[in-house]
Amino acid sequence: SIQVCRIQVKGMTCTSCSSTVESALRVIPGVQRAQVALATEEAEIHYDPKVLSYNQIMEAIQDTGFEAILIS
Ligand code: 9UX
């Protein structure tokens, strides 16, 4: 079944930053939904744990140049 993880994304300063992270997440196989909120620095990702882990999601965020910290 689909799982949801929330990750704090640090270092974003404009909506282009959050859009970049969102786009990077949405193209990952196994990611069903991804929303990144600039104001709260929070990303919510719905993903299939049979396809990937939240650690891989965090790595994908870090690859965009921002720090990722697991919330839940
Ligand atoms: Mo906005 Mo983010 O000009 O790295 S895209 S600051």
Is 16 a pocket residue for ligand 1 (Cβ < 6 Å)?
yes
Domains and their CATH numbers in the chain: 3-70 (3.30.70.100)
pLDDT by residue (tens digit) across 36-55?
999 999 999 999 999 999 99
pLDDT by residue (tens digit) across 14-35?
999 999 999 999 999 999 999 9
pLDDT value, residue 44 = 98
Are 53 and 71 in contact by the 8 Å Cβ rule? The answer is no
**Rounded CA gap, 10 and 2, in Å?**
25
pTM of the model: 0.96
**Rounded CA gap, 42 and 4, in Å?**
13
Point out the ligand 1 atom lying closest to the alpha carbon of residue 15.
Answer: 1
CA-proximal residue: ligand 1, atom 3 (nearest): 14
Is 15 a pocket residue for ligand 1 (Cβ < 6 Å)?
no
pLDDT value, residue 9 = 98
* Mean pLDDT, residues 5-22: 98
pLDDT value, residue 2 = 98
Is 17 a pocket residue for ligand 1 (Cβ < 6 Å)?
yes
